[in-house]
């Protein structure tokens, strides 16, 4: 933490996001999500000039099920979001990470550091970050109280 402000660097998580092929069906994407209990899947690109995509539970509920389409006939590439929403400034205040998420109406943002992939930030990451900061400040207050 820098000067009491939570930044993107404090909350970003580096993990391999589970993937689903762009030509697979929405049905298999759904099965995968439920199996791993993770509701965001990365869609790898075709080649170097292509962009990565992402498919979430919201895409499936609003673009497939709500429209009455058969998830076995719809392909991942037709409902995914592409390209990714990204952030590159690791020193960014947490507040503006949340704002970026609100403005772009997404729940997962990819983070790049100097052109290299760094990690992801999700809604859960933001809340965890705030929660730990809150707990820390409570603990600090408790220590002060005892020393008085």
Partner 1 sequence: MELRDVVGRSSPVKIPSAATASDALISMIANKTDYLLVDRSGPHDAYGVVTRRDLIVEGIANGRDLSSTPVLELARKPLVVMNNLDLDIRWVAKKMTDEGISKIAVFDKEKFLGFISDVDIMRAVVAKKEAKK
Point out which residues bind partner 1 (CB under 8 A): 27, 30-31, 33-34, 39, 57-58, 60-62, 65-68, 71-72, 94-96, 98-99, 101-102, 107, 123-124, 126-128, 130-131, 134
- Sheet order of strands, 108-113 included: 86-87, 108-113, 116-122
Select 88 or 104, whichever has its Cβ closest to partner 1. 104
Helices then strands (H, E): number in the chain? 6, 5
Closer residue to partner 1 in complex, CB, 35/116: 35
Q: Which is nearer to partner 1, 25 or 42 (CB)?
A: 25
Q: Give the shortest CB-20-to-partner 1 separation in angstroms.
A: 14
Q: Report in angstroms how near the CB of residue 101 gets to partner 1 at its nearest.
A: 6
In Å, what is the CA distance from 125 to each residue of 26, 37, 101, 120, 139?
Answer: 26, 16, 12, 9, 21
Question: Which CB, 31 or 140, lies closer to partner 1?
Answer: 31
Least separation in angstroms between CB 98 and partner 1: 4
Q: CA 33, CA 41: separation in Å to the nearest integer?
A: 8
If we measure between CA atoms, which residue out of 12, 26, 7 comes closest to residue 108? 12
Nearest residue to 24 via CA among 62, 66, 48, 60: 60
Shortest distance, position 93 Cβ to partner 1, whole Å: 8
């Amino acid at each position: 933490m820098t000067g009491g402000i939570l930044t993107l660097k404090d909350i970003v998580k580096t993990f391999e996001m589970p993937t689903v092929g762009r030509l697979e069906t929405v049905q298999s994407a759904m099965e995968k999500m439920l199996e791993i209990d993770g509701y965001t899947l990365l869609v790898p690109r075709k080649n170097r000039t292509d962009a990565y995509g992402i498919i979430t539970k919201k895409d499936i509920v609003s673009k497939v099920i709500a429209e009455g389409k058969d998830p076995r006939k719809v392909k991942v590439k037709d409902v995914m979001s592409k390209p990714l929403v990204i952030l590159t400034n690791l020193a960014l205040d947490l507040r503006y990470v949340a704002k970026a998420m609100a403005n772009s109406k997404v729940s997962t943002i990819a983070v790049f550091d100097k052109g290299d992939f760094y990690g992801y930030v999700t809604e859960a990451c933001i809340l965890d970050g705030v929660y730990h900061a809150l707990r820390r400040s409570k603990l600090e207050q408790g220590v002060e109280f005892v020393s008085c």
